[in-house]
């Protein structure tokens, strides 16, 4: 189990344009309720998916986006800050800021590929690159089907570097009765891979 001081400098939470925007929002909500400081990054494609899947239209400015998400998810504004994807002076852009945890949920195949090749072309890719070079904990929740050999090779390459690949593949053995339960099944896995105490999380054999 992680010590809360492990999150002293916060965590980077990114959403990209794969299907499953609800996973990202729920993750931000759960981290907010756990009083963990979040640096939130949302790709342009993720904004399109948020509108398509959940009718959520995010404000353009990063400050307003952070405030909107805090209100929408009912979490404290002081712990949640949004950044533009070209904000190279933000904490997520440098290893010296001391952030050692990052989650990308959902993670598109495009972002996955760019992380696997070290593109660092926007703040999400750069923050992931920082996490890998600094030996931090990087957790990706990819979503695509079927998976091509390109996708699988990128995932294998990253997994071999120690990146946690947690695909958006909820189980059904707990007999979910709602989409919210399926979403929580996956978000529980993200929380437990971050080492955060998981109130209500379902465990095999539990
Ligand atoms: C409604 C919608 C659903 C999408 N679903 C997926 C998906 O499940 N997986 C994926 O890799 N890309 C998906 N895409 C395509 C990505 O959004 C697209 O490749 C985009 O360039 C990814 O950009 P990003 O990595 O910067 O977010 C979807 C796009 C839309 C609009």
Q: Which of 197, 183, 167 shows the shortest CA–CA distance to 36?
A: 197
Cα–ligand 1 centroid distance for 20 (angstroms):
10
Residue 80 lies in a domain: yes
Domain presence at residue 116: yes
Instruction: Please indicate whether residue 47, judged by its CB atom, sits closer than 6 Å to ligand 1.
Output: no
For the chain, the domain total comes to 1
Please, what's the b/e burial string for 172-205 (b: 16 or more CB within 10 A of its CB; e: otherwise)? eeeebeeeeebbbbbbbbbbeebebebeebeeee
Structure confidence at residue 6 (pLDDT): 85
Give the pLDDT confidence score for residue 57 in this predicted structure. 98
Q: Nearest residue CA, atom 31 of ligand 1?
A: 49
- Does ligand 1 come within 6 angstroms of the Cβ of 52? yes
CATH number (domain holding residue 92) = 3.40.50.1950
Would residue 206 count as lying in a domain?
no
Nearest CA to ligand 1 atom 28: 18
In sequence order, what are the residues at sequence separation of 6 or more whose Cβ sits closer than 8 angstroms to the Cβ of residue 17?
43, 44, 45, 46, 48, 49, 108, 110, 111
Residue 174 in any domain: the answer is yes
166 located within any domain: yes
Nearest CA to ligand 1 atom 7: 18
Q: 203 in a domain, yes or no?
A: no
Question: Domain containing 78: what range?
Answer: 15-193
What are the pLDDT tens digits along the chain (206 aa)? 777 778 999 999 999 999 999 999 999 999 999 999 999 999 999 999 999 999 999 999 999 999 999 999 999 988 899 999 999 999 999 999 999 999 999 999 999 999 999 999 999 999 999 999 999 999 999 999 999 999 999 999 999 999 999 999 999 999 999 999 999 999 999 999 999 976 656 666 65
Pocket test for ligand 1, best of 16, 22, 24, 45 (most atoms within 8 A of CB): 45
Residue 9 covered by a domain: no
Note whether residue 3 is domain-resident: no
Determine phi and psi for 78, rounding to 5 degrees: -65, -20
Q: Residue 206 has what pLDDT?
A: 57
């Amino acid at each position: 189990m992680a010590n809360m001081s492990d999150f002293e400098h916060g965590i980077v939470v990114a959403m990209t344009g794969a299907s499953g925007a609800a996973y990202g929002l729920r993750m931000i909500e759960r981290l907010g309720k756990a009083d963990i400081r979040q640096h939130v990054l949302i790709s342009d494609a993720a904004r399109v998916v948020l509108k398509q899947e959940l009718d959520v239209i995010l404000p353009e400015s990063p400050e307003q986006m952070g405030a909107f998400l805090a209100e929408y998810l009912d979490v404290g504004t002081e712990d949640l800050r949004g950044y533009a994807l070209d904000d190279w002076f933000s904490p997520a852009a440098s290893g010296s800021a001391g952030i050692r945890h990052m989650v990308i949920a959902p993670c598109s195949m495009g972002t996955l590929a760019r992380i696997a090749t070290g593109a660092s072309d926007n703040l999400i890719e750069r923050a992931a690159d920082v996490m890998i070079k600094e030996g931090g904990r990087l957790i990706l929740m990819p979503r695509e089907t079927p998976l091509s050999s390109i996708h699988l090779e990128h995932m294998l390459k990253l997994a071999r570097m120690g990146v946690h690949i947690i695909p958006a593949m909820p189980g059904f053995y707990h007999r979910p009765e709602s989409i919210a339960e399926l979403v929580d099944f996956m978000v529980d896995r993200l929380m437990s891979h971050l080492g955060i105490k998981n109130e209500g999380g379902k465990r095999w054999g539990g």
